[in-house]
Amino acid sequence: MGNDRWTWTAIFLHWVVATLIVANFALGEYMGDLAVSPMKLRLYSYHKWLGVTVFALTIIRLAWRAFHAPPPFPAGMPSWERFAAKAAHALLYALIFIIPLAGWLGSSAHGFQTIYLGVIPIPDLLAKNNELSELLEEVHEQLNHALLLLVIAHAGAAMKHHFIDKDDILRRMIGLKGRK
């Protein structure tokens, strides 16, 4: 196994988490404007469950990552690009870790405990507090907007590597490099 590839575990987690985040972002934006209805209550719960799933997968991912060095960047990659990529990846990890936390705490301060899949209670850390819940929900929203911009830049960078630099960056995250 060459060490210039991502492991299948890393590839799987990257794309599963990316897909769930895109879906949950859309769901989060959509559900807020709905009139109160059973559907709205359901969607809020699904949003929270999906978000908790992302959080759990992110922890697994970070733990995995701590013991598995990423493949080195292509030899010709300028140092500012290496730095930008590292910074962007660190920031992406930070956001997908903090966003669910803010959502969960905001919900707790709003007076609603999160019960994963309707069965597993997640600690209800905060007492009901309107100002605090508004603040946390605002943080949740703003960090989501930051995430949106960063993911666009991140995907754009992947496209640049693939179509302009014509290197292996995107191929190796899809699992094509060195495999048939």
Partner 1 sequence: MKRLVALVLTMLIFIPGALFSAPVVKDKSSIGFATRQMGVPVAGSFKRFDADVRFDPKDAGKGSASITIYMDEVDAGSDDGTVEIKRKPWFDVKGHPKAWFLSTSLKELGPGRYEVAGKMTIKGRTRDVIAPVTVKKEGGLWLFEGAFAINRLDFSIGEGPWADTGTVDDKVEVRFRLLLTATGKK
List contacts with partner 1 (CB under 8 A).
Answer: 36-39, 41-42, 44-45, 110-115, 117-119, 128, 130
Which of partner 1, ligand HEM, none sits in contact with 38, Cβ below 5 to 8 A by type? partner 1
Nearest distance in Å: CB 42, ligand HEM: 13
Indicate whether 21 belongs to the interface with ligand HEM (CB under 6 A). yes
Alpha-carbon span 147 to 56, nearest angstrom: 18
Kindly report each contact of residues 89-92 with a partner whose C-beta sits within 8 Å and lies 24 or more positions away, as own/partner.
91/150, 92/147, 92/150, 92/151, 92/154
Residues 43-62, one symbol each (x = binds ligand HEM by CB under 6 A, - = not), give: ----xx--xx-x--------
Alpha-carbon span 148 to 177, nearest angstrom: 28
Alpha-carbon span 90 to 14, nearest angstrom: 14
Pair of tokens at residue 78: 């300028």
Count of chain residues binding ligand HEM (CB under 6 A): 39
Closest CB to ligand HEM among 154 and 180?
A: 154
